[in-house]
Amino acid sequence: MIRVENLHRHFGGFRAVDGASLEIQTGSITGLIGPNGAGKSTLFNVIAGVLKPTSGRVMMDGEEITGLAPHELFHKGLLRTFQIAHEFSSMTVRENLMMVPARQSGETLWNAWTARRRIAQEEAELLKKADEVLDFLTISHLRDELAGNLSGGQKKLLELGRTMMVDAKIVFLDEVGAGVNRTLLNTIGDAIVRLNKERGYTFCVIEHDMDFIARLCDPVIVMAEGKVLAQGSADHIMENEAVIEAYLGTGLKNKVVANG
């Protein structure tokens, strides 16, 4: 479980995160929504060690992780996808997956001289794992494609695949749906649900597409002006007056009206 306690992140005098407290339960797919500028990405960045908090604490399974560097969190199984999202565009999809695991024996010259057999074995295992991941994500046909040629949605799937190469425990996904067509978004949604159910991944997902959030996430946490405004099921959230007020003039309000 991730517990965020009274977190602040200020930029000069501006309070982007202004006393946010929330919990992300192990095994959940938690949605994080809120109007533009609510502080969602800043909160993610603080949890994931990309930004230091001004004050407050972040706990992971009872252990304080406030201010740990991204690579330290990575080794604890906490990933924010963009930490590993920047694909190597001139490498193939499969090679991109094989780049992820840390501390391969082949990394040092000494090992290269003394442990060729071990390196070959590790590479064979990595290759097998990469192919399993591609199969799981239903993108085996893209194995030999250069990552730079993938569509935005396919790159998002590759991001998810890279989390699978390191057996992440909790993954923070920032706007997975941005610029992704509906069919591919459904594929991404299916992959998230299967990773959650079959592999025990916990997810925290920022997304503006309410259909996507409603289909995947429970609970949904709403942020506004740097604070947590409400929390509950997607249906519950969409009926909440304070939430509708915060979203006035935006897509969620239109959706609420359309549903109502």
Ligand X SMILES: Nc1ncnc2c1ncn2[C@@H]1O[C@H](COP(=O)(O)OP(=O)(O)OP(=O)(O)O)[C@@H](O)[C@H]1O
Residue 211: partners with Cβ closer than 8 Å, 6 or more residues away: none
From 31, 34, 153, 177, residue interacting with ligand X (rule: CB under 6 A): 34
Which single residue is written with the structure tokens 């935005």? Answer: 152
50/91 with CB nearer ligand X: 50
- Least distance from C-beta 83 to ligand X, angstroms? 17
Q: Write out the two tokens for 247.
A: 């979203």
134/210 with CB nearer ligand X: 210
From 2, 22, 29, 39, residue interacting with ligand X (rule: CB under 6 A): 39
Q: What are phi and psi of 110, to 5 degrees?
A: -60, -50
41/81 with CB nearer ligand X: 41
- Least distance from C-beta 102 to ligand X, angstroms? 28
Contact 19, 6 (CB under 8 A): yes
Query: Is residue 81 within the footprint of ligand X (CB under 6 A)?
Result: no
- Least distance from C-beta 79 to ligand X, angstroms? 18
- Least distance from C-beta 220 to ligand X, angstroms? 14
Question: Which residues in 1-30 contact ligand X (CB under 6 A)?
Answer: 11, 14, 16
User: Judged by CB under 6 A, which stretch of 32-40, 125-133, 147-155, 231-239 contacts ligand X?
Assistant: 32-40
Q: Write out the two tokens for 236.
A: 């519950």
CB atoms within 10 A of CB 13: 5
- Least distance from C-beta 122 to ligand X, angstroms? 39
Pairing of strands 220-224, 29-33: parallel
165/209 with CB nearer ligand X: 209
Query: Is residue 36 within the footprint of ligand X (CB under 6 A)?
Result: yes
- Least distance from C-beta 219 to ligand X, angstroms? 18
Question: Among residues 184, 118, 197, 131, which one has the least CA distance to residue 156?
Answer: 184
Contact 170, 59 (CB under 8 A): no
Q: How far apart are CA 9 and CA 235, in angstroms?
A: 30
User: First CA to last CA across the chain, in angstroms?
Assistant: 35
12-34-86-52 Cα dihedral, nearest 10 degrees: 30
Site string for ligand X, 42-61 (x = CB under 6 A): x-------------------
- Number of residues in contact with ligand X, rule: CB under 6 A? 11
Residues that bind ligand X (CB under 6 A): 11, 14, 16, 34, 36-42
